[in-house]
Amino acid sequence: MKLGGRPARIAVASAGLIPLAWGLFDLATDGLGPEPVEAITHRTGSWALRMLLLSLSITPLRKALGAPGLTPHRRTFGLLAFLYATMHFTTYLALDLDFRLGGLAEDIRERPFITVGFTVWVLLAPLALTSTRGSIRRLGKRWQVLHRAVYPAAILAAIHFVWSAKADLLEPGIYAGVLAVLLGIRGVNRFGQKRSNYATIRRARSPDETHAQGAGGKDQEGDPQAVPTANPYPKGKTP
């Protein structure tokens, strides 16, 4: 079975729907406890955040394993995150607010905790809507720019969870920690990439070195003078 093949994608999507099935089963069998609304709100919110983190872990995992086949699952997890986030938001809108839009407006205006949560949903919606192949083709480069919204969305989702806690920050803290690691990996990769790009530029500009040794080499001992324009931060003197 190919990592990103159709059967694999179906398997991942089905696995991602297990929490929903499980929740519906609990709902039907009185398994959500004395306060089912709180249970639904908490479960849908947690799964939205988990799916978002899984989606964000695909790229680093793909790079670490050298497995480009994983890429399609990024979308699957992203869509699952939006699905659970939508259920989370709808539960709040229907059962906490009775669909009173005035109440929603007041909450968004006056309670940063809600403002942040609502913003996450608003940021995720266009990403879900433009997740089709057609959109990717149509939007071209802009698609990538648009889908960077997943980073602020994830950060705000973690803040929303931390903010929802009364005093016990352990669980939301763990999620925030995982997100920090996932974003940290990207930061490190990006930095590394920049450096290897500079190395490429340096080699290209260097008069006595016309043959590239392969882009992305890791062993160039930098002579800061060799990259006078392209690199404002010579190696070893990062800001």
Contacting residues for 164 by C-beta, under 8 A, at least 6 apart: 45, 113, 172
Minimum CB distance to other proteins smaller for 32 or for 136: 32
Q: Which of 8, 9, 32, 38 binds other proteins (CB under 8 A)?
A: 38
- Binding flag, residue 107, other proteins (CB under 8 A): yes
Among 61, 95, 104, 128, binds other proteins (CB under 8 A): 95
Q: Which of 96-104, 131-139, 200-208, 210-218 is the region at the interface with other proteins (rule: CB under 8 A)?
A: 96-104
Q: Amino acid identity of 161?
A: F
Least distance from other proteins to the Cβ atom of residue 40, Å? 10
- Written as six digits, the tokens of 157 are 């989702």
28 binds other proteins (CB under 8 A): no
Cβ atoms 52, 150 nearer than 8 A: yes
Calculate the alpha carbon distances from 93 to 161, 216, 234 in Å: 18, 50, 53
Q: Which of residues 154-213 bind other proteins (CB under 8 A)?
A: 163-164, 166-168, 170
Q: Map tokens 């969305």 to a residue.
A: 153
Contact pick of 17, 22, 25, 35 for other proteins (by CB under 8 A): 35
Alpha helical stretches, state H, the chain = 6-28, 36-65, 72-91, 101-110, 112-129, 133-139, 141-147, 150-164, 170-205
Q: Which residues bind other proteins (CB under 8 A)?
A: 33-38, 95-96, 98, 103, 106-107, 110-114, 163-164, 166-168, 170
